[in-house]
Amino acid sequence: MLDLVIIVAAIAVGAFVKGATGGGLPQVAIPVMAPFLGVERAVVLMAIPGIVSNAWLMWTHRETAAQTRDLPVLLVTSTAGAVVGTLALKSLDARVLSGVLAGVIVLYITVALAHPGFRFPPRVTRVASPPVGLAVGGLQGATGISGPLVTTYMHGYQLAPRAYVFSLAALFCIGAVVQTITLAAVGLYSSTSLVQSLLTLIPIVLFLPLGSRAARRLSPPSFQRIVLVLVAASAISLLHDAIWSGG
């Protein structure tokens, strides 16, 4: 019974963070669920909720779609990258990828702190978005660690909070759809796991709107600082994986 309480609490916290910032649900829920259920089962259970939660955020913030930048090209290239990643990057060492990605994030945080208000200008993102989209999809397909790269890159746009959440939700929704189709194609969904996956939607439905409402009380600078803290936390997690995981 305690195991169930811990799992539900982790999903609820992850849903609240996701509602507020656009990311955080799998990063919070899966590490907590994995010791009790196993990594594979935890990933399977969270795939469908990933589609639902991101689709809800897209619908909730749909009026901000015009405020986003480079989103169509990011969606297309990340989808292509997910296919390429699944096929070609699977042989790469996940610990090396984690280390490289952590280094990129630390560099970005250093620049952002040294130059408050730093943002990627449109002339840069027009060139950078296609390869970043491919990298995001490739990482998701090969290792499932695209979240830190997406959140870091989108933070550099300095979008309005709701537009930022919409952009993340759109990218994560595409990734979740590709992931769910892949999991179903390789036979990892049983009737039991499907029911359990749907049951995880209960705490998500309750806490996702709460996080979204909480975010609306924040000023844009406060929102950006919170996102930067979450990005830093993801870098620490990646460094841990790179140095100690499997060691």
Question: pLDDT exceeding 70 applies to what percent of the chain?
Answer: 92
The range of the structural domain enclosing residue 200 comes to: 1-66+187-216
Tokens 């790179």 appear where?
242
What local confidence, expressed as pLDDT, does residue 86 receive?
A: 66
* 227/134 Cα distance (integer angstroms): 23
Same-domain pairing of 77 and 152: yes
Confidence check: pLDDT of 73 > 60: yes
Confidence check: pLDDT of 247 > 60: no
- Give the contacts of 208 (CB within 8 A, at least 6 positions apart): 15, 16, 18, 19, 53, 56, 57
Same-domain pairing of 25 and 110: no
Report the predicted TM-score, pTM, of the whole model to 2 decimal places: 0.83
pLDDT-derived band at 145, boundaries 50, 70, 90: low
Task: Report if residue 130 sits inside a domain.
Answer: yes
Structural domain count of the chain: 2
Pick from 12-26, 141-155, 201-215: least confident: 141-155
Task: Report if residue 58 sits inside a domain.
Answer: yes
Give 87-144 pLDDT, tens digit per residue: 665 566 667 767 777 888 888 888 888 777 788 999 999 999 999 999 888 877 766 6
Q: Report yes or no: 22 and 165 within 8 Å, Cβ to Cβ.
A: yes
- Give the contacts of 197 (CB within 8 A, at least 6 positions apart): 44, 45, 46, 47, 48, 49, 189
Give 163-195 pLDDT, tens digit per residue: 999 999 999 888 888 888 888 887 888 888 889
Confidence check: pLDDT of 74 > 90: yes
What local confidence, expressed as pLDDT, does residue 102 receive?
A: 80
Strands (DSSP E) along the chain, which ranges?
none
